[in-house]
């Protein structure tokens, strides 16, 4: 019988796999069950490096049934890359230059990920 401890270990395994690919080695990523999360989510902690992956009972049940793919964890981790742009874009007092800087940073991160995959 699969338990939530096993699910958390599976999520951790996915984080360990995807983090070096996405350049997230410096982040300390926690894992918690959250009753208000619809499925899965990750906290937006920009500019800090300590997000938490949240999962729901439904995500746990889907995992037990083999219906939760590892790339779902990759999706949540990708939010760490896109959150700086999101935070700046939703800020009421943000300059065009700040948005451009975050756009270039995100583009460069994606480029570095792809470059890393080629080698």
| Six token digits for residue 87 | 């935070």
Only one residue has tokens 């990920």, namely 113
Percent of the chain with pLDDT over 90: 75
Structure tokens given for 117: 């995959």
The HSE-up count of residue 82 (CA atoms within 13 Å, CB side) is: 7
pLDDT exceeds 90 at position 118: no
**Entry pTM:** 0.86
Helix axes 71-90, 4-22, angle to 10 degrees: 60
Q: What is the pLDDT of residue 38?
A: 92
Per residue in 8-66, pLDDT (tens digit) is: 999 999 999 999 999 999 999 999 999 998 999 999 999 999 999 999 999 999 999 99
The answer to whether 77 touches 22, Cβ cutoff 8 Å, is yes
């Amino acid at each position: 019988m699969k338990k939530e401890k096993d699910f958390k270990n599976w999520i951790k395994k996915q984080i360990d796999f995807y983090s070096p690919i996405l350049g997230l080695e410096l982040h300390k990523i926690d894992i918690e069950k959250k009753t208000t999360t619809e499925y899965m989510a990750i906290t937006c902690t920009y500019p800090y490096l300590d997000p938490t992956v949240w999962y729901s009972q439904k995500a746990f049940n889907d995992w037990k049934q083999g219906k939760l793919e590892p790339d779902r964890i990759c999706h949540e981790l990708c939010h760490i890359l896109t959150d700086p742009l999101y935070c700046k874009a939703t800020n009421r007092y943000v300059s065009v230059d700040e948005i451009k800087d975050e756009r270039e940073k995100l583009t460069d991160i994606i480029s570095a990920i792809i470059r890393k995959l080629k080698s």
